[in-house]
């Protein structure tokens, strides 16, 4: 019976130490498995826009762009999704530049009005445009932007999901989207991996210690479970005869 008492004692005291975290792991894990991940990623919130490139008009050539700039690492020719304007996105060591492919005029950084139009084109929800904010400083960067590079425009919509689309001013691209359920997921994720600030570092000491205690608690629990079932009747009979 020493083993039974030991298994119960160890499980009890270990559980006292880690119980709340085990509950938090279960609650956050439950949310993650029951809410569809594509929905969390905001896939239904935006159109998968791939406008066709219209080259019937005379375009500025790749070669002339090459000659007027140095340190190019890529040039992309594509169409903006709001009105189909053909644009060149020129990538250099210092950043990205957007050029109107017909006139050769520089378009970046895109003005607020154009960013709103682009966000409206990307947005597939049923809300209306609410507000737009330019985020330039790291100090103003919301945690939900994680490692994304600044500057970015945040375009909010007034739907019940509290959707925000983030548009890059130098490319017009939609870099990410956030909504109520993503934000909950992210909060619960921070509880799950026990990284409460960056919410991304799984190699932290707190998680390591908690999972060692957690795995031990579960092991003693399993040990206890074996006794609870195998020796349940026998143990009781023994005690009754004592």
Partner 1 sequence: MTLLTLRKLHKWVALVVGIQLFMWTLSGLMFALLKHEAVSGEHLTAKPQVPNLAAEAALMDPTAWIETDSGRIVHEVMLRPLDGGWVYHLVRDNGIELRDAFDGAPVVIDSARVRRFAVDHYRGSGRLVGIQFLAEPTLETRQAGATWRATFDDPAETSLYFSADGGALVATRTDAWRVFDFFWMLHTMDYAGRDDFNNPLVILVTSASLWVALTGVLLLFRVFRWTKVPPREAGVDAEVT
User: Using CB under 8 A as the criterion, which residues of the chain lie in contact with partner 1 when the complex forms?
Assistant: 4, 12, 15-16, 19-20, 22-23, 25-27, 29-30, 32-37, 50-53, 55-56, 59, 61-63, 66-67, 69-70, 72-79, 201-204, 207-208, 211-212, 214-215, 217-219, 221-222, 225, 228-229, 232, 235-236, 239
b/e per residue 28-51 (b: at least 16 CB within 10 A)? beebeeeeeeeebebeebbeeeee
Q: Return all residues near 181 (Cβ < 8 A) that are at least 6 apart.
A: 35, 39, 40, 161
Instruction: Identify the residue whose tokens are 């989207």.
Output: 177
Minimum separation from the CB atom of position 16 to partner 1 (A): 6
Q: Which is nearer to partner 1, 26 or 128 (CB)?
A: 26
- Alpha-carbon distance of 39 to 37, in angstroms, equals 5
Q: Which is nearer to partner 1, 60 or 119 (CB)?
A: 60
Q: Which is nearer to partner 1, 78 or 178 (CB)?
A: 78
Q: Which is nearer to partner 1, 70 or 126 (CB)?
A: 70
- Alpha-carbon distance of 183 to 163, in angstroms, equals 10
Minimum separation from the CB atom of position 157 to partner 1 (A): 26
Minimum separation from the CB atom of position 64 to partner 1 (A): 9
Q: Which is nearer to partner 1, 51 or 104 (CB)?
A: 51
What's the half-sphere exposure (Cβ side, CA atoms, 13 Å) at 25? Answer: 12
**Helix, strand, coil distribution of the chain in percent, nearest 5:** 45, 20, 35
Minimum separation from the CB atom of position 51 to partner 1 (A): 7
Minimum separation from the CB atom of position 27 to partner 1 (A): 7
- Alpha-carbon distance of 164 to 135, in angstroms, equals 13
């Amino acid at each position: 019976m020493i083993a039974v008492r030991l298994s119960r004692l160890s499980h009890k005291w270990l559980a006292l130490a880690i119980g709340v975290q085990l509950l938090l792991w279960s609650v956050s894990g439950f949310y993650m498995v029951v809410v569809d991940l594509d929905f969390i990623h905001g896939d239904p919130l935006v159109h998968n826009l791939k406008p066709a490139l219209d080259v019937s008009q005379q375009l500025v050539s790749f070669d002339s762009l090459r000659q007027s700039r140095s340190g190019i690492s890529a040039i992309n020719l594509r169409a903006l999704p709001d009105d189909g304007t053909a644009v060149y996105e020129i990538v250099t060591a210092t950043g990205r530049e957007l050029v109107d492919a017909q006139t050769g005029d520089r378009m970046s950084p895109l003005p607020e009005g154009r960013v709103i139009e682009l966000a409206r084109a990307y947005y597939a929800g049923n809300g209306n445009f609410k507000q737009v904010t330019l985020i330039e400083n790291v100090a103003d960067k919301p945690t939900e932007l994680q490692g994304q590079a600044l500057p970015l425009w945040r375009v909010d919509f007034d739907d019940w999901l509290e959707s925000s689309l983030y548009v890059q001013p130098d490319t017009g691209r939609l870099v990410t989207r956030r909504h109520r359920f993503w934000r909950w997921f992210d909060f619960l994720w921070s509880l799950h991996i026990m990284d409460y600030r960056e919410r991304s570092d799984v190699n932290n000491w707190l998680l390591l210690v908690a999972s060692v205690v957690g795995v031990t608690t579960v092991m003693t629990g399993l040990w206890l479970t074996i006794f609870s079932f195998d020796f349940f009747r026998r143990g009781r009979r023994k005690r009754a005869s004592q």
